[in-house]
């Protein structure tokens, strides 16, 4: 990878940009292969979601994630490079693709700006393999044509393009210049997400029945007691159908407003389907040689009053069933990361993680990331964690396949990004829905252990459905 500190756009001319891209083309001809050219430029403050919504096209891929409490938002759309894989080696194959692209990349601009340079937006399904009928492959990576991100009150715009020996340099330069010129003209968020005049007619149907889910939970408890596994996570699905096509950007706006502590996200496949959600769970974050992850398991609701909320939290901390479920998750994370030689640091007892409508038992984990161990190496060992799969992993995953009656796809998958320096962040695809025109399939799950009661697990999943239902119904 070649890094250049020059600025070929700001305070320059279209001719200067064209001359720069011509030099990149000469490098492509010399190497006898295409070059990824990534141009970063700090711009005036923008709302990345407003930018994405302004140019949203169902036939274009996009990636979006926002965590308002961390002052973080990033959007990328359209595709200049993409890759997909399946099977147990999918993480290694995606890493090889990333390495190959970066080996032939020219990165331009101040790389000290947060989110400068090319980013690889990545999604891994819950299982290693998915059917060919699923809207997303089991592993996908793409580099967007453009990217806008905000972090710590700074905004950066990134243009990515592929320069080949036969590329029309003038046309490429004109396209980058026109895109740069647009960044002062995007509307504010209130204009993009104006209130609709009418509410659509919507029907909601359980995939199966509530009684079916309770029966499945009881069957899982019986298998736990028989020693087949210690914990299993079982999900429900609800299908929502409206009389008009749903706008995933509108739903995403509702999610980020309601759940500032969560990762509000949208991932579109370019064929009309979008996977959106508001996930409370970080899988991993790697930055500057440090790695953070977490155990998040054991749930209860929020109280209407402060005293009630505190009592619910204390009851969760004292719950033998929830503490056992949480400990299974923590022990599995520690066990799976041990072969990587990581010195993991964590508190001896869990704390409470309070969200808008639910609170969880939470144990943050941090460690230095040794040279040679990369983010996808860690994810390959962790995913899926017991918080969304079970313990032991292999028997729990087999149990999920035998008990659930719908494909998970990206539900409970690993979604995130990796930058050109190997930094990145991944979260778990929870509290989510797959949107396809007027239809949306919503997902919610609960961890089942020997002490689980079917009615209580049903109530927990219903609580988790509320976030997505509210976002999809809001206009």
Is 338 annotated as catalytic? Answer: no
Bridge-based pairing of strands 139-143 and 81-85 is: antiparallel
Residue with tokens 């502590």: 261
Beta-bridge partner residues of 273: 436
SS3 435: strand
DSSP H stretches of helix in 7-65:
14-31, 48-54
37, 106 contact by CB (below 8 A): yes
In angstroms, rounded to a whole number, what is the distance separating the alpha carbons of residues 361 and 363? 7
Token pair of 247, please? 């706008």
Nearest to 71 by CA among 147, 149, 152: 152
Q: Which of 134, 230, 231, 460 is labelled catalytic?
A: 231
Nearest to 414 by CA among 65, 174, 168: 65
* 3-state secondary structure labels for all residues of 267-331: EEECCCEEEEEEECCEEEEEECCEEEEEEEEEEEECCCCHHHHHHHHHHHHHCHHHHHHHHHHHH
Q: Which of 66, 134, 230, 281 is labelled catalytic?
A: 281
Q: Which residues in 125-201 belong to E strands, given as ranges? A: 139-143, 146-151, 154-163
Is 30 annotated as catalytic? Answer: no
Beta-bridge partner residues of 352: 361
Query: 171 φ, ψ to 5°?
Result: -65, -40
Q: State how far the alpha carbon of 126 is from the alpha carbons of 3, 88, 400, 434, 450, in Å.
A: 36, 12, 11, 14, 24
Residues marked as catalytic: 231, 281
């Amino acid at each position: 990878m070649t890094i250049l500190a020059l600025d070929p756009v700001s305070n320059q001319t279209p001719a200067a940009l064209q001359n720069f891209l011509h030099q990149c083309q000469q490098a492509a001809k010399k190497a006898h292969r295409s070059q990824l050219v990534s141009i970063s430029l700090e711009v005036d403050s923008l709302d990345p979601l407003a930018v994405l919504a302004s140019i949203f096209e169902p036939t274009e891929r996009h990636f979006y994630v926002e965590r308002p409490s961390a002052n973080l938002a990033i959007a990328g759309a359209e595709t200049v490079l993409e890759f997909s894989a399946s099977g147990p080696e999918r993480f290694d194959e995606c890493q090889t693709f990333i390495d190959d692209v970066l080996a032939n990349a020219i990165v331009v601009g101040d790389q000290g700006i947060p989110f400068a340079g090319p980013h690889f937006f990545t999604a891994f399904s819950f299982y290693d393999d998915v059917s060919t009928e699923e809207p997303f492959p089991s592993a996908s990576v793409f580099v967007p044509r453009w990217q806008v991100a905000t972090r710590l009150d700074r905004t950066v715009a990134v243009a990515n393009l592929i320069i080949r020996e036969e590329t029309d340099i003038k046309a490429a330069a004109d396209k980058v210049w026109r895109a740069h010129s647009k960044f002062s003209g995007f509307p504010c968020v209130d204009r993009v997400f104006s209130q609709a005049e009418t509410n659509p007619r919507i029907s909601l149907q359980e995939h199966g029945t509530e009684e079916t889910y309770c029966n499945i939970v009881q069957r899982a408890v019986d298998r736990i007691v028989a020693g087949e596994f210690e914990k299993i996570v079982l999900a429900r699905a609800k299908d929502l159908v409206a009389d008009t096509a749903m706008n995933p950007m509108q739903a995403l706006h509702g999610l980020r407003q309601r759940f500032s502590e969560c990762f509000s996200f949208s991932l579109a496949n370019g064929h009309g389907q979008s996977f959106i959600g508001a996930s409370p769970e970080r899988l991993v974050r790697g930055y500057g040689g440090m790695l953070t992850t977490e155990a998040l398991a054991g749930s209860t609701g929020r109280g209407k009053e402060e005293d009630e909320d505190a009592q619910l939290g204390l009851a969760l901390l004292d719950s033998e069933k929830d503490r056992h479920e949480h400990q299974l998750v923590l022990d599995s994370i520690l066990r799976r990361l041990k072969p990587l030689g990581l010195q993991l640091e964590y508190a001896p007892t869990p704390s409470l993680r309070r969200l808008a409508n639910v609170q969880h038992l939470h144990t943050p984990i941090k460690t230095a990331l040794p040279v040679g161990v990369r983010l996808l190496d860690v994810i390959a060992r962790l995913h899926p964690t017991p918080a969304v799969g079970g313990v032991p992993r292999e028997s729990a995953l087999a149990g999920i396949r035998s008990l659930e009656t719908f494909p998970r796809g990206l539900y409970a998958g690993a979604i995130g990004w990796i930058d050109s320096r190997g930094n990145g962040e991944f979260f778990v695809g929870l509290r989510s829905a797959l949107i396809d025109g007027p239809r949306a399939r919503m997902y919610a799950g609960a961890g089942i252990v020997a002490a689980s009661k079917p009615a209580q697990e049903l109530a927990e999943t219903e609580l988790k459905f509320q976030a997505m239902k509210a976002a999809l119904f809001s206009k």
